[in-house]
């Protein structure tokens, strides 16, 4: 599956079209399975600049056209909060198929997930294991470790399974062969009590950049 992203520097109708063309050339293909607007803001503008909204709307219009032409098979966004999505839904012809955002037990984004569910936008979680530092706080959290012992799995597997049982898809990254295997071995279930324990870890703690500041 070919997935590509629109960089903030390429926001806008014509720049977006050019960026998609460049991706097609780089991937040596005539279509892309999923294309995402990576960030609700545009490069070179202050976070509260009202031009962000118009530029991302223009980018979306370009993606809708490319979707209609068959160049893109699905289109979506990344790091969009509820206000960004509502602005888009107010003007778009095609709703995003995907919203790729940071979600994990410390930052669960329940309001955003519920909004996406109501509008049939699939939520794909990144940073499911928390920060990319050597030892993520999530991986050593006592509750996560307790649940991992109960189910006989690693803390990372527990965090990924928590996301899957909340109907999220996950995109864990690893170059370690053992970790890559573990990320695929999720053939177990967390019971209601274990899910409730993990749900109780909400701290509104974000590890990636915060798009909520973008107008």
Domain enclosing residue 7, as ranges: 3-213
pTM confidence score: 0.94
Q: Is 172 left (phi over 0), alpha (psi -120 to 50) or beta?
A: beta
Distance CA 75, CA 189 (A): 31
**Which band of pLDDT confidence, cut at 50, 70 and 90, is reported for residue 133?**
low
pLDDT of residue 135: 79
Structurally, how many domains does the chain consist of? 1
| pLDDT, mean of residues 149-164 | 97
Burial 63-96 (b: 16+ CB within 10 A, else e): bebbbeeebbebbbbbbbbeebbebbeeebeeeb
CB 211 within 8 A of CB 39: yes
147 pLDDT above the threshold of 70: yes
173 pLDDT above the threshold of 80: no
134 pLDDT above the threshold of 80: no
pLDDT of residue 182: 62
- In this structure, what token pair is assigned to residue 96? 């995003």
Model pLDDT for residues 37-84, shown as the tens digit of each residue:
999 999 999 999 999 999 999 999 999 999 999 999 999 999 999 999
176 pLDDT above the threshold of 70: no
Distance CA 16, CA 58 (A): 8
132 pLDDT above the threshold of 70: no
Distance CA 100, CA 168 (A): 10
Give the CATH number, domain containing residue 98: 3.20.20.100
- In this structure, what token pair is assigned to residue 195? 């899910």
Name the burial class of residue 110, with classes exposed (0-12), middle (13-18) and buried (19+) by CB atoms within 10 angstroms of its CB: exposed
Model pLDDT for residues 7-23, shown as the tens digit of each residue:
999 999 999 999 999 99
């Amino acid at each position: 599956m070919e997935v590509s992203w629109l960089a903030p520097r390429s926001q806008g109708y014509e720049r977006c079209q050019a960026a998609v063309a460049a991706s097609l050339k780089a991937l040596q293909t005539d279509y892309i399975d999923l294309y995402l607007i990576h960030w609700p803001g545009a490069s070179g503008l202050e976070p509260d600049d009202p031009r962000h909204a118009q530029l991302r709307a223009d980018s979306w219009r370009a993606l809708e056209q490319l979707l209609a032409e068959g160049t893109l098979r699905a289109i979506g966004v990344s790091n969009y909060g509820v206000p960004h999505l509502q602005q888009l839904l107010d003007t778009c012809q095609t709703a995003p198929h995907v919203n790729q955002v940071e979600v994990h037990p410390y930052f669960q984004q329940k309001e955003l997930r519920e909004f996406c569910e109501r509008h049939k936008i699939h939520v794909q979680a990144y940073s499911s294991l928390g920060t990319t530092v050597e030892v993520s706080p999530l991986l050593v959290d006592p509750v996560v470790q307790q649940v991992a012992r109960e189910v006989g799995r690693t803390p990372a597997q527990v965090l990924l399974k928590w996301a899957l049982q909340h109907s999220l898809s996950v995109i864990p990254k690893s170059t370690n062969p053992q970790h890559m295997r573990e990320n695929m071995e999720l053939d177990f279930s967390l019971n209601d009590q274990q899910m409730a324990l993990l749900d109780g870890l909400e701290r509104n703690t974000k590890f990636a950049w915060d798009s909520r500041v973008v107008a």
